[in-house]
Amino acid sequence: MSDTLFADASKRLEKALKYVSISEDAIEHLKFPKASLAVSIPVRMDDGSLKIFQGYRVRYDDTRGPTKGGVRYHPNVSMDEVQSLAFWMTFKCAVLNLPFGGAKGGITLNPKALSRMELERLSRGYVNAIADFIGPDIDIPAPDVYTNPMIMGWMMDQYSIITRKVTPGVVTGKPISIGGSLGRDTATAMGAFFVIENIMSKIDRSPPETTVAVQGFGNAGAVIADLLSKAGYKVVAVSDSQGAVYAKKGLDIPSIRQYKLSSRGMKAVYCEDTVCNIVEHESISNEELLTLDVDILVPAALENQITEANVNNIKARYIFEVANGPITSVADAILEQRGISVFPDILVNAGGVTVSYFEWVQNRSGFYWTLEEVNQRLRQKMVEETNQIWGIAQELSISMRTAAYVHALNRLGEAISAKGTRDYYVNGKVSVP
């Protein structure tokens, strides 16, 4: 297999397979995606010109239920990336014991270069192209990088137009007014917060004595920084795509969020009402943020941020992956050798798909929950699965990542075996009613 993102993602299984007893059929089944679709999306631009965009959707595995996964709009979207993310989603859903398989989608573009009307035409065109590939009982898209509730609303509306019936369950992450769930916009960060709090309590670290750096200040990164700051953790650095800010004494995260929202810039500020004053800080790069001497590092941006090239410069004691695949498999092995604990994406950032599941359930029942109910159910799920994975890691003396894959593989193997394997057909006895 070529040295692709998917090949690197697949290497995560190698260690885990040593600790599970699943059938050869299950292993073979998980090597390849069930279905992959590449489409061309013609869009009439505001200036009257026609532009063709490339879109993708991959359904990796649906053994445990309809597939589930986000749609991202980004210049680096490719079939390899989408397939890798669908692979991770398969294991993420199994880790959280959700009745879903894994999927992912995306369109290759810079969304910031399009007008809102062009984005709407693109989003509806994407659904036109993949309408036969998705559905509330087949594959359910959701927001991801540079997609949001408005875009999900357009997609749901377009699918409903095509099928001639209102179908809110076809996507999740929609606006509340058209079937979205309370808590979905903060779910990824909230789930990660519950995992961090749980782990820190296990190793007996209190928030005030714990320093944190967060790479990425989008929806997930900004919210997790805010949650940790309000819980008493000392968040000393945050970054966006343009750069990072660092203050040894800690940052006022709510003020930085307010400043960034109004100015689209990243500075360490203290805001009182609408007036923001710049406070003493260092401007550093995203790369420098990763190498800060902090207790907790939270990569919340894109894939492959910690690689063989910079892994030996990492000084954090604990890394919680809020982004998907921010650490390559080679770097992961080096971090483990150095005694740096990594808490994997398929657990840490699974809050998003968990509340997407809650939204799907609410859409299908027509009964909607309060924010308190959503967060309570999310906390229960995240804490329960974190405890199980922690127990596996301790029992087998393996990393949390390997333990998470062991946990997922056991559930996937059981589901695949339930449909019949070689052992059943060749070695088993068939009982006749």
Q: Catalytic residue positions?
A: 104
- State the Cα–Cα distance between residues 59 and 428, nearest whole angstrom: 32
Angle at the Cα of 347 from the Cα atoms of 343 and 353, rounded to 5 degrees: 145
Contact indicator for 179, 202 with CB cutoff of 8 Å:
no
Task: Identify any residues that bridge with 277 across adjacent strands, giving them in sequence order.
Answer: 270
Report the candidate in 33, 62, 138, 64 with the shortest Cα–Cα distance to residue 360: 138
CA angle 142, 139, 192 (to 5 degrees): 40
Residues 6+ apart with CB under 8 A from 226: 189, 253, 254, 257
Partners of 44 in the β-ladder: 50
Enclosing H/E stretch for 237 = strand 234-240
Alpha-carbon distance of 127 to 143, in angstroms, equals: 14
Tokens 């007996």, residue located: 204
Neighbouring residues of 257: CB distance < 8 A, sequence distance ≥ 6: 222, 226
Nearest to 246 by CA among 255, 237, 235, 256: 237
Length of the chain: 433
Q: What does the H/E/C string look like for 205-237?
A: CCHHHCEEEEECCCHHHHHHHHHHHHCCCEEEE
83 contacts: CB under 8 Å, gap ≥ 6? 6, 33, 36, 58, 60, 104
Rounded to whole angstroms, how far apart are CA atoms 67 and 59? Answer: 6
Which among 345, 362, 360 has a CA at the least distance from the CA of 139?
360
